[in-house]
Amino acid sequence: MIRKFIRSVFKKSSRQDGSPRVFRLKSHGITADHLTPCALKVATTLQQAGFKAFVVGGAVRDLLLGREPKDFDVATDAEPEEVRNLFRRSRIIGRRFRIVHVMCGAETIEVSTFRAAAADNSEEGRHTDDSGRVLRDNVFGPQVEDAKRRDFTINALYYDPVSQEIWDYHDGVADLKAGVMRVIGDPARRYREDPVRMLRAVRLAAKLGLKLDDAAKKPIRELAPLLGQVPAARLFDEMIKLLFSGHAVQSVLQLRREGLHHGLLPMLDVILEQPLGERFIMLALEKTDQRIEEDKPVSPAFLFAALLWHEVLAAWQQIQDGGEKPAPALHLAMDQILSAQQEKLAIPHRYDAVMKEIWTMQPRFWQRGGQRPFRLLEHPRFRAAFDFLMMRCESGEVEAEVGRWWEAFQDAGESERGRMLIKDEAAPKKRRRRKPKAAAAAVAAPD
Ligand code: ATP
Ligand code: MG
């Protein structure tokens, strides 16, 4: 009883000056060997050189939740050049935040210098735009301020691998236990400083199974349009994290509930409002989540091809209605949709080729006579295009029979395949006139 009283008094007094609550190993059980050797090396080397160094943010949070951290970030009072000088394989990167990447083997640890809390806009090194968005932020400061400028209480946790203590500046440990996500400071102001925090709120809540507290949720709807001011490349990075978090379905549903989906992708704007498009996109997201769960590789190009498909379909139809033939109309539609996306979300061009291949292969699934199905089967991108077709069937966009035919065709032996060939409805007239039997025989005969 007395101890409890003393603790509560101590708790209050210790928090007033902003000092952290310190959790020792006994209370959290996270030993230094929970870190990767690289993270451990970076933190201990910095400490041996006389600096403070902690593993910070998502990794500490994930370890406390019993999850395997995706990566390790280190925070220190050493300035970027001082960090750079301690590690042979390291380099300074970033403009908005100057940080150091330290490489060991295949691993990279991000080392950032403690930053001063956002204060006055005129301060040297920090610039904001008219809506309060921080454009550059390179003012270094004490650890307590570094904690204050982090986004959520559960992300302002610092783990010292030498003392094996967790320093908790904003009651993040208690919030984690209670399963809530709270913004540090005034949520509306923090979202104005950096609108991406709204996306992070939704993504992390979905990924970690936490509840976003009401204060954090409330301003989102009104401030959502601020996302329009975030550079497209940064939005793209954040969307990639969200779509490949293993919780894409939950995240996208939540984005929609919070009114955050506008302007991110046309999929979220328009397509979620049409039942066929929504079904198709949800299937694509479900399959992505499932593959991540099973540790299978996922392809951004495939997912983006799916997300944009109903846009491409609509444009394709429109161009054909204008009198264009199907094949050139599809190419025009693809280019139109891809360039519109470039502006909004900056889907890098490196994905274009694969997306286009998946799309242009779709009409070829209807050509099931002569040599064509065999040629399609040999296409290096057949598997992706076929999976795509199956999602179209499953969503009800096209007849399931086509998908079943291709499934059977892949499993069939050579002579069975020959028997399966059907008169090619989409084929040019010249081919159609050919006798089906002759075509089948020609295919069945080995070269
Ligand atoms: P993930 O599991 O996706 O890596 P994370 O929280 O670790 O989640 P990172 O982008 O790796 O996300 O960021 C590391 C830490 O940096 C965060 O935990 C948080 O403390 C801080 N941080 C990241 N982005 C922001 C932001 N936009 N505003 C404030 N703090 C941020
Ligand atoms: Mg992280």
- Mean pLDDT for the stretch of residues 124-139: 66
pLDDT of residue 426: 52
Whether residue 187 has pLDDT greater than 70? yes
Q: Which residue has the tokens 């969503």?
A: 395
When pLDDT is cut at 50, 70 and 90, the band that residue 339 belongs to is: confident
151 in catalytic set? yes
Q: What percent of the chain has pLDDT over 70?
A: 83
pLDDT of residue 434: 38
Q: Which residues, at least 6 apart from 103, have a Cβ–Cβ distance to it below 8 Å?
A: 89, 90, 109
* Type and span of the H or E element at 168: strand 165-168
pLDDT of residue 439: 35
CATH 3.30.460.10 residue ranges in the chain? 1-178
In the reported structure, the alpha carbon of residue 97 is separated from the centroid of ligand 1 by a whole-number distance in angstroms of 13
Atom 16 in ligand 1: which residue has the minimum CA distance?
57
Instruction: Give CA–CA dist 266/274, Å, rounded.
Output: 12
Give residue-wise pLDDT tens across range 199-243: 999 999 999 999 999 999 999 999 999 988 888 888 888 888 999
Atom 1 in ligand 1: which residue has the minimum CA distance?
58
In the reported structure, the alpha carbon of residue 402 is separated from the centroid of ligand 1 by a whole-number distance in angstroms of 45
Atom 14 in ligand 1: which residue has the minimum CA distance?
57
Give residue-wise pLDDT tens across range 255-273: 888 888 776 655 466 556 6
Whether residue 4 has pLDDT greater than 90? no
First and final C-alpha spacing in the chain: 90
pLDDT of residue 151: 96
Whether residue 335 has pLDDT greater than 70? yes
Q: Which residues, at least 6 apart from 411, have a Cβ–Cβ distance to it below 8 Å?
A: none
Q: Which residue has the tokens 């007094």?
A: 13
Which tops the pLDDT comparison, 269 or 45?
A: 45
In the reported structure, the alpha carbon of residue 377 is separated from the centroid of ligand 2 by a whole-number distance in angstroms of 41
Which pTM was predicted?
Answer: 0.82
Measured at the CA of 208, the angle between CA 205 and CA 212, to 5 degrees, comes to: 25
Question: Which pair of structure tokens corresponds to residue 338?
Answer: 């891809």
Instruction: Give CA–CA dist 24/4, Å, rounded.
Output: 18
228 touches 263 (CB < 8 A): yes
Q: What is the mean pLDDT of the chain?
A: 86
CATH architecture of 1-178: 2-Layer Sandwich (3.30)
> Taking the C-alpha atoms of 115, 205, 298 and 232 in order, what is their torsion angle to the nearest 10 degrees?
-50
Instruction: Considering the candidates 151, 171, 213, 352, report the single residue annotated as catalytic.
Output: 151
pLDDT of residue 292: 95
Q: Which residues, at least 6 apart from 26, have a Cβ–Cβ distance to it below 8 Å?
A: none
* Type and span of the H or E element at 368: none
When pLDDT is cut at 50, 70 and 90, the band that residue 428 belongs to is: very low
Taking the CA of residue 241 as reference, the ligand 1 atom at the shortest distance is: 3
- Collapsing DSSP to helix, strand or coil, 256 comes out as helix
Instruction: Give CA–CA dist 293/4, Å, rounded.
Output: 43
Instruction: Give CA–CA dist 429/434, Å, rounded.
Output: 9
Which tops the pLDDT comparison, 315 or 265?
A: 315
Which tops the pLDDT comparison, 399 or 443?
A: 399
- Mean pLDDT for the stretch of residues 137-162: 93
- Collapsing DSSP to helix, strand or coil, 107 comes out as strand
CATH 1.10.3090.10 residue ranges in the chain? 275-444
One-letter amino acid at 325 equals K
| CATH no. for 275-444 | 1.10.3090.10
Give the residue from 162, 166, 168 showing the smallest Cα distance to 32: 162
Of the candidate ranges 146-160, 177-191, 237-251, 316-330, the one whose mean pLDDT is the lowest = 237-251
When pLDDT is cut at 50, 70 and 90, the band that residue 137 belongs to is: low
Of the candidate ranges 16-20, 21-25, 44-48, 233-237, the one whose mean pLDDT is the lowest = 16-20
Which tops the pLDDT comparison, 9 or 88?
A: 88
Q: How many CB atoms lie within 10 A of CB 261?
A: 20
Instruction: Considering the candidates 71, 160, 269, 387, report the single residue annotated as catalytic.
Output: 71
- Ligand 1: residues within 6 Å at CB? 57-58, 70, 73, 150-151, 155, 194, 196-197, 200, 241
Describe the crossing of helices 326-345 and 300-321 by its angle, rounded to 10 degrees: 130
pLDDT of residue 3: 52
Measured at the CA of 77, the angle between CA 76 and CA 78, to 5 degrees, comes to: 90
Whether residue 444 has pLDDT greater than 60? no
Pocket test for ligand 1, best of 71, 157, 200 (most atoms within 8 A of CB): 200
Instruction: Give CA–CA dist 8/163, Å, rounded.
Output: 24
What sign for the dihedral angle of Cα 390, 394, 395, 397?
positive
Taking the mean position of all CA atoms in its chain, how far away is CA 171? 27
